[in-house]
């Protein structure tokens, strides 16, 4: 007769325990004093952004590819998988979202692997503003944060008053984090001051209640130089995180464009002492992908960014593959996709 499998270890997490490093620090102020003259006028801001060092596209892509070949094995791989799970903003941003779907996603975020209660919880649940109250109720007592997209996501095409009302409603409903999109049209037209002032206005609406993630939609910015300029614009405007993309266009997060963001936060921290987080979003689907991004973080920004205070994955399908790989390390074989819930 087959032997009886040992019982699963009990869930040792207390009901109000958060994933490691989830508790947010106070939102930071806008442009540090050292950059006061830079943001004093449209001309000064334009000169500063256009004067940033150009990005060597060939060198950037070669470095991203080389770091992606690093081999992570055994205990280091297990650590990386658990760290990646704890960094996920589990996301549903569809027109057909229902309260039931959001509640199910909340349950998955709190107990990603029902067969193993030692699996870490995700960092946040990311939803549209009208679903924030449902998401808050779904993750109450778990320490999982609620993030909400705003500012006419994903296009950003709305008057500023509408964008600010969007943010205000999400914060009032209990969002811990706001993911805003910049006005790419204004940015590409060279109206950097308008984009900066919109970021500052959204930062003010977040107040001390919510951290601000600024989304650039890197796939629409055309060049790495533009992405670098957008990074500095977001950080000067008061972003707590800078984020690659909405996940709604053809080109989303890539190792190369994420490397630009990581270099920018590293350099901003060196210049000001202010740390800003990074969130690649869209197109990251496998454990192998996630590990590549974690290597980029460690080798570019440093260990200080290897927590969900300062690095997140915008994803939902990624969690399923991470759980399958985690089960493989724990049991020695793959359980199969049927054992991982489908969002």
**CB count in 10 Å sphere of residue 18:** 17
The secondary structure of the chain, three-state, reads CCCCCCCCCCCCCCCCCCCCCCCCCCCCCCCCHHHCCCCCCHHHHHHHHHCCCCCCHHHHHHHHHHHCCCCCCHHHHHHHHHHHHHCEEEECCCCCCCHHHHHHHHHHHHCCCCCCCCCCCCCEEEECHHHHHHHHHHCCCCCCEEEEEECCCCCCCCCHHHHHHHHHHHHHCCCCEEEEECCHHHHHCCCHHHHHHHHHHHHHHHCCCCEEEEECCHHHCCCHHHHHHHHHHHHHCCCCEEECCCCCCCCCCCHHHHHHHHHHHHHHHHHHCCCCEEECECCCCCHHHHHHHHHHHHHHCCHHHCCCCCECEEECHHHHHHHHHHHHHHHCCCCCHHHCCCC
* Residue of 243, 289, 292, 321 marked catalytic: 243
Alpha carbon separation from 234 to 27, 109, 215 (Å, rounded)? 14, 29, 9
Residue with tokens 């300029």: 229
Cα–Cα nearest to 145, from 331, 293, 28, 21: 21
Q: Catalytic one among 113, 179, 183, 240?
A: 179
Catalytic residue among 108, 213, 279, 292: 279
In 3D space, the residue among 221, 149, 233, 165 whose CA is nearest the CA of residue 189 turns out to be 221
243 given a catalytic annotation: yes
Q: For tokens 């000064």, what's the residue?
A: 44
Closest CA relative to residue 230, chosen from 276, 267, 283, 188 = 188
**Enzyme catalytic residues:** 179, 243, 279
């Amino acid at each position: 007769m087959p032997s009886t499998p040992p019982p699963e270890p009990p869930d040792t997490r207390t009901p109000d325990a958060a994933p490691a490093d989830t508790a947010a620090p106070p939102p930071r102020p806008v442009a540090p004093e050292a950059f006061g003259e830079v943001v004093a006028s449209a001309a000064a801001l334009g000169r500063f952004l256009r004067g940033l060092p150009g990005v060597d596209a060939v060198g950037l892509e070669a470095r991203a590819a080389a770091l992606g070949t690093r081999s992570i094995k055994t205990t280091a791989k297990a650590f990386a998988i658990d760290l990646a799970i704890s960094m996920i903003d589990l996301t549903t941003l569809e027109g057909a979202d229902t309260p039931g779907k959001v509640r199910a996603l909340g349950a998955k975020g709190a107990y990603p692997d029902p067969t193993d209660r030692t699996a870490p919880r995700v960092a946040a649940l990311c939803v549209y503003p009208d679903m924030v109250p449902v998401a808050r109720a779904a993750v109450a007592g778990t320490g999982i944060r609620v993030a909400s997209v705003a500012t006419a996501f994903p296009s950003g095409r709305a008057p500023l008053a509408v964008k600010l009302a969007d943010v205000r409603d999400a914060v009032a409903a209990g969002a811990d984090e706001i993911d805003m999109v910049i006005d790419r049209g204004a940015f590409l037209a060279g109206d950097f001051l308008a984009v900066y002032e919109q970021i500052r206005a959204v930062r003010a609406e977040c107040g001390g209640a919510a951290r601000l993630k600024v989304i650039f939609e890197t796939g629409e910015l055309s060049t790495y130089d533009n992405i670098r300029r957008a990074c500095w614009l977001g950080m000067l405007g008061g972003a707590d995180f800078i984020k690659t993309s909405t996940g709604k266009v053809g080109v989303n997060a890539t190792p190369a464009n994420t490397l630009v963001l990581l270099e920018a936060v590293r350099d901003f921290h060196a210049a000001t002492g202010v740390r800003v987080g990074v969130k690649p979003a869209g197109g990251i689907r496998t454990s192998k992908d996630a590990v590549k991004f974690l290597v980029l973080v460690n080798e570019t920004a440093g260990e200080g960014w290897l927590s969900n205070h300062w690095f997140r994955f915008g994803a939902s399908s990624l969690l399923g593959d991470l759980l399958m790989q985690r089960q493989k390390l724990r049991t020695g074989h793959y359980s199969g996709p049927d054992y991982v819930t489908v969002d």
